[in-house]
Structures are given as structure tokens and as C-alpha cells.
Amino acid sequence: MKISKIASVTTLVLASAITAPAMATNYSGGWHSGCGTGGNTGDGCNAADYFADDLMYSLASDGISNAVVDGVTINASAYSDTTGHNYQGKYNYNGKDYAMYGDDQVEAAQMADYGSGYGVINLDEDGSSPEHSADNEGNAYFAGSKYNTYIMNDTDFDYVLISFDEEVNVTGATFSWLWKETDTQISVAALSDTSMLTSGVNTWGDIAGDALAVGSFDVLNCDDTDLAEISGLDNVYSQYWIIGAYNTVFGNIGHSMYDDGFKLASVGFNKKPGEEPPTTQVTEPGTFAMLFMGGALAMWRRRRSA
């Protein structure tokens, strides 16, 4: 899909003009103001300060396929915007305007197993750092033919689709690796179904506009793990949730894009109130494993106040 590279170009800062419609639940607020000292650094705090310890799981080394957690069957897959070749406006470089094109339509990607967490490798990547993670690394270069030169914006946003067999409210996530340890953001969306995601013709802006709810959140570095609490979407329940590298179409919280990447370790969720809670169980021990507090990664329900 890439055209021969002619010369490197400085990182493009592309302002997004697409936002989710008013009918969607949008949350663009950060959920913390830092823990301890040094911005996002978590000196003096740990995951237990944010999540209850009744459910603790780790993504395992065999992939997520029909695993059962708290009576809910879970599957996961990956997507990135690596298809299409669409005009994205003009880019001025050294005083000259160049037409800019990019592959901004979403298609399936590969989930990459790293033992303690999962990354995403899309069709434009070779798996080198940070391309082995779910990332939004900026990549733009001169491309074209003998008679036409333009800018190819090959910036891809990687997302993991978590599919549940019943509607749940996703409450948080933990990460086994971050590209930028103290400055990482994620974006999240609840989808009514997966048709927009799997069609191969939609952009992330299209998908955000059709979502039930969207939001962007900081990742906090606690002493025992890196985590994000998904707040502001408490009353949103869906079978399909996507979590990926920060993209302002899902909510702009004032941070820069193109420098976010993570390996997903776990996703916490709540079932709908009133449902009879079954005995917590884990199937396919090669896929999910129960951990004790202090383990590297965990899947927790968010603590509910009494």
C-alpha cells in the first residue's frame, strides 16, 4: 500500500474536524489530576485505590477466544485504518502546498500476543517499537510518480474490539506496556453493533459518529500497574466496546496525538443491575488466569461506593 518513499517529512499535526453527534454520550474529561508527584506518575498510589479486588484477571498467552469471566463470554479482535486512499487536504512544506492523501478507512488488523498484554500490528507495520503496540504513531512522507508528488499520511490508529455475549458497562483497563510512560491517553467507544467497524469503508470519525458513547482518558502510572478508569459513561451498556490509541474524534482532552501506544492487559466491566450474578469462573486457563493483588496485570470491577 505504501508508495516509494522520496524524503522524510516532519510529523504532521492533523486537526480533526469530526466529532460524535449530540445523540451519543460523550465524555471528554480526564479522571484524575495526577497521583503523587510528576504529572501522571503514581508514587504513593496503587490499583486498589481505584479498583475493587473482587475480580482480578490477566490476559493470557493464547489469545482471547470464548473466555468466560463472571459468567460473561468474551472475545477480542483488532482493527486499524489501513485501507483506502483518500484526499485529506493540503500540507504546506517549505512554503509549498502539497496534496495530502491517507488510508483512513478501517479494516481488520492482527492482535499480537506479548504474554502479559496484547498489542496490535496493522498492515502498514512491521512490528518494531512502537508498532507492536496499539498506537497512533505519526508517519508522513513524500510519495508519488515522476509527474506528481504529494504527501502520504500513513498515520494509523489501532483499536481492540472487546465483544461480550451480553450488554455490559466497561469501567476501566490496565496496561502491561506504555510507549510514553508518563504521557499516554486512550480513547473508548461503545458500539451498537460491529457493522460500521467491519464494513471496510468507514473512518474512525464515521464510527465515532455512530457510537452509543465515546470518551478519551488519561492513563495513570500507579506503583503496581498502569491503568485508566473509564468514567462518565456509567449508564452505557453494550456488547461491543473498542479501546485504542488516543484519537480526538472520540473526545478531545487537550493532549497531543501521535505519541500514544500500549499493550492491553485487561478490561474491567459491570453487568447490568438486577441480573443474578453467577459464580465467578474462568475457562480456558490458557486464555485467562486469576491473579492476586500485586500481580503484574489485572481486570477489576470499579469500586462502587456503599
Q: Which residues of the chain have pLDDT under 50?
A: 1-23, 27-34, 36-38, 53-56, 60-62, 279-306
For residue 130, say if its preceding peptide bond is cis, omega within 30 degrees of 0.
yes
Residue ranges with strand state E in 233-290: 238-245, 261-271, 288-290
- Could you report the per-residue pLDDT of 57-81, keeping only the tens digit for each? 555 444 567 777 778 888 999 999 9
- Could you report the per-residue pLDDT of 1-47, keeping only the tens digit for each? 222 222 223 233 333 333 333 335 554 444 333 454 445 555 567 77
Distance linking the first and last C-alpha atoms of the chain: 54
In this prediction the pTM is 0.79
The whole-number pLDDT of residue 22 equals 32
The whole-number pLDDT of residue 44 equals 63
The type of residue at 260 is D
Burial of residue 92 (CB within 10 Å: 0-12, 13-18, 19+) is: exposed
Contact 2, 83 (CB under 8 A): no
